[in-house]
């Protein structure tokens, strides 16, 4: 009886619906997994006059299936769709009207009008159509595939799958992503989402050992990428989720206990990374005082100071998409940390402000605010991780950012199916 009660008890604000067909749910999970994995190989492109990534193409195809299904059943989530498309129209209009010089503006317009709304809507619907159990399996299989692919490409590079970088930037593990930071972002985000989904929906695996091995593999790949932001974002989000999670429901007493464990895990993980960094030889350390001073004086700090001055010139409407590359492209990369080919600032929200002014800030923070809820552990973990990482890397221009914000929104609003949980064991038996 207690096991049945734990399965039935979900987030107190949830509005559950029984899955219409288990086979259909598995199919949606398969579609979602294909999209997730294809986005992990951005170097694979389809030449159609311009480089169209295979992940974007598959995402558009699955979105078409989802929206047709929702239109037929009158289940379209118009708020999510209109908010992202409407926001994209507003920001695109501001960019087009800007008289400042811009580079590759059309790429940004397509992203904000089509790609990002598509990713956000798909993420929101995946949790409801596939159910939490199948969603978390899609997330974990993609995490496993992405990490194994990164190791394989490090040992045996395949030109079709690898994005070539200059030798001085080709240190560390990066898989098929553009750079090491993207692999680290991927590993941390999928780990946080997996943990949050399993805790919130009581999805304990039959054996904890494979899951622990998967998390170890993901964190090992993140460590091998030599990215620093991953640890700040992952442990920061875990700590924030543990501190902020609130639920008045007696049924969620187990989750409240787990929120305290998350605080302990965040502190322990931070101490472990600090000790590991202290143990490394000086030349191999993840962070040193000299490195931080150099970044402040000649890299991101210099870019930040210039960007703030530029924002002061056009604080309300911005300079337009593509202005960052047009302006900073002439700077040597070892002087300011940007340079030719870099389309965004390191801070995603400053980049939005610089590009499309205050409306850009409202767009960015509005999506975060809509997706987060103190009554949803998975939403706190995902949104916290995305917010922290996006303050140090331009990940808010990635499809994963919007897709997982959609998952967080669905979780925070309880758009899940109880039937999808029935084949898993609860984390504890009371």
Residues 287-321 pLDDT 10s:
888 888 877 777 788 888 889 999 999 999 999 99
- Kindly provide the b/e burial profile for residues 389-407, where b requires at least 16 CB atoms within 10 angstroms of the residue's own CB: bbbbbbbbbbbbbbbbbbb
- pLDDT, average across residues 45-62: 83
Task: Report the percentage of the chain scoring pLDDT > 70.
Answer: 86
Checking if the pLDDT of 2 tops 50, the result is no
pLDDT for residue 341 is more than 70: no
Q: Round the average pLDDT of the chain to a whole number and report it.
A: 86
Residue 345: per-residue pLDDT: 86
Percentage of the residues of the chain whose pLDDT score is greater than 90: 66
Angle at 52 between CA 48 and CA 55, to 5 degrees: 140
Confidence of residue 50 (pLDDT cuts 50, 70, 90): low
Residue with more model confidence, 131 or 18: 131
- Condensed to tens digits (0 to 9), the pLDDT of residues 360-394 reads 999 999 999 999 999 999 999 999 999 999 999 99
Look at residue 4 in the predicted model and tell me its pLDDT. 30
Q: Give the pLDDT confidence score for residue 27 in this predicted structure.
A: 94
pLDDT of amino acid 10:
41
Cα gap 45→48, rounded to integer Å: 9
Instruction: Tell me the sheet residues that pair with 88.
Output: none
pLDDT at 331: 65
pLDDT band at 78 (very low <50, low <70, confident <90, very high): very high
pLDDT of residue 19 exceeding 60: no
Query: Could you tell me which of 179, 176, 181 has the C-alpha nearest to residue 145?
Result: 176
What pLDDT sits at residue 18? 38
């Amino acid at each position: 009886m207690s096991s049945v009660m734990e399965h039935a008890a979900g987030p107190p604000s949830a509005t559950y619906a029984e899955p219409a067909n288990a086979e259909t749910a598995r199919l949606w999970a398969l579609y979602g997994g294909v999209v997730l994995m294809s986005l992990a190989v951005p170097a694979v492109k389809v030449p159609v006059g311009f480089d169209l990534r295979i992940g974007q193409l598959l995402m558009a195809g699955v979105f078409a299936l989802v929206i047709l299904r929702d239109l037929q059943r009158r289940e379209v989530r118009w708020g999510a769709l209109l908010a992202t498309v409407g926001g994209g129209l507003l920001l695109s209009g501001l960019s087009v009207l800007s008289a400042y010089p811009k580079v590759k503006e059309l790429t940004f317009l397509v992203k904000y009008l089509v790609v990002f709304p598509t990713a956000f809507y798909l993420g929101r619907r995946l949790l409801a159509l596939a159910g939490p159990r199948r969603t978390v399996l899609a997330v974990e299989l993609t995490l496993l595939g992405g990490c194994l692919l990164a190791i394989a490409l490090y040992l045996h590079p395949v030109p079709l799958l690898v994005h070539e970088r200059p030798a001085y930037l080709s240190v560390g593990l990066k898989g098929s992503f553009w750079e090491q930071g993207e692999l680290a972002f991927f590993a941390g985000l999928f780990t946080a989402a997996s943990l949050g989904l399993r805790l919130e929906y009581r999805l304990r695996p039959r054996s904890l050992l494979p899951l622990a091995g998967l998390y170890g593999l993901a964190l090992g790949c993140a460590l091998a990428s030599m990215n620093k932001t991953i640890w700040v974002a992952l442990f920061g989000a875990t700590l924030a989720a543990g501190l902020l999670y609130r639920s008045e429901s007696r049924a969620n007493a187990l989750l409240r206990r787990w929120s305290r464990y998350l605080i302990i895990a965040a502190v322990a993980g931070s101490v472990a990374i600090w000790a590991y960094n202290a143990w490394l030889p000086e030349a191999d350390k993840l962070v040193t005082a000299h490195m931080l001073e150099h970044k402040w004086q000649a890299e991101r700090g210099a870019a930040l100071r210039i960007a703030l001055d530029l924002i002061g010139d056009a604080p309300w409407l911005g300079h337009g998409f593509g202005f960052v590359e047009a302006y900073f492209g002439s700077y040597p990369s070892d002087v300011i940390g940007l340079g030719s080919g870099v389309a965004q600032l390191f801070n995603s929200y400053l980049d939005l402000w610089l590009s499309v002014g205050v409306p850009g800030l409202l767009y960015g923070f509005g999506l975060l605010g809509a997706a987060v809820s103190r009554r949803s552990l998975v939403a706190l973990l995902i949104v916290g991780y995305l917010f922290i990482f996006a303050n140090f890397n331009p990940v808010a221009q990635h499809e994963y950012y919007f897709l997982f914000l959609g998952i967080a929104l669905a979780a925070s609003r309880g758009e899940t199916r109880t039937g999808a949980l029935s084949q898993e064991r609860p984390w504890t038996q009371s």
